[in-house]
Every structure is written in structure tokens, then in C-alpha cells.
Structure 1
């Protein structure tokens, strides 16, 4: 039986690019949900203030994704649209074109 994989990736856009990056992620995850049957859920989120949760993070955008198994996540990472997204906005040869200051990605299971 496949074991679901939960992905939390946190993103800090360069100053002045938060809205643009949020929109780009919405488009990217929409494409992910449309084309990848192994992607069960995918959300682009921002932290909201709440008195019961006073902590904050420097990462202003958080992607929450669920895949049916690890191979489905690997497939996602190797799609043309994810590879192109990284080459265009994160690992561009021209550093001025990069829109992300810092990011991290972590995978979780229910075991």
C-alpha cells in the first residue's frame, strides 16, 4: 500500500516580489494538480495573524502538498514545468532574475 508523503516548502521572495511569487506559485500548483494524478492536494498559503498562534517566520509563502507516495513527489520534481520554474526564478544564471531570497523544503510521513 502506498505511503502518503506530505511536503512543506517555505519561501522568502526577494523584497518587492511577494505578490508576483505568490501568483507564480498559484499557477505552478494549479498545473501540478491538473497534470499529476499522484498529487492529492496542493495549496499556496500565507500566514495569518491569530492570538492563539503568535509565532512568525521569515518565510512569507508556504506550499503545502500531499502526494500518494514518494515516487509521485519525485515525478513532480522532475516535470518540465517545475524544472523550468527553478531555472527561471530560483537558479537563474542571471542572479538579478531570481525572485527567491531563500527557501527550504521538508517531507513528512504519518509513520
Structure 2
């Protein structure tokens, strides 16, 4: 998603990309991202997160961090193979140590298999 950020519109529903092939919009929701990874069958799968550039500051960073925590709940609910595939969360909060700490604690509270 990071490489297509300039083509993306991030909303609570998910990430809408403009296809680099034909220009058509494509929506990727947290649930669909997990369903795709469930079908692929990887051992480690990643939650969809609200990606922002690390150089951004202000309310967008905080919004992305809280959206990432809301989306991890949707990913957990959609995960059909939790005993076969380990779902990892992604820490957001940019370079802000307080926001990153809030995000880490939120992910730890969800008891994901990828925790340290």
C-alpha cells in the first residue's frame, strides 16, 4: 500500500486505490485483506493499517494510529484461520513516541501472536 499511497484514498471503510493498470477504483477493506491472505495460506499475515509517511505530523498521524487499532479489530473478526496463520499488527504513530506507545499497548491488549 505504501508504494500506491499517492493513488489511494483512505477512509474508515478501507483503502480505495486507483488502479495503475486501467484507472478504475479498487477498494481494499481490512476484511478483504485478511480473506486474501487466508486464501494464500501464508504462516504470517499482516493486518491492513492506515499508512502515513513518517515525515507527517499533526492530527493525521493520530487519526491513522486510532484507525489502525479499529481496523485490527475488523481484521481479527475476519480471520478464519487463526490457528494456522499468525496475524501481526502494525504499529502506527509516526515518529511520535506517545502515539506509538498507545498503538503498541492497543495491539498488546489484543493478544496477537506476533507480540514480543
TM-score by length of 2: 0.27
Greater fraction of residues in helix:
2
User: Quick one: higher RCO (CA 8 Å, sep 6+), 1 or 2?
Assistant: 1
TM-score by length of 1: 0.28
Greater fraction of residues in strand:
1
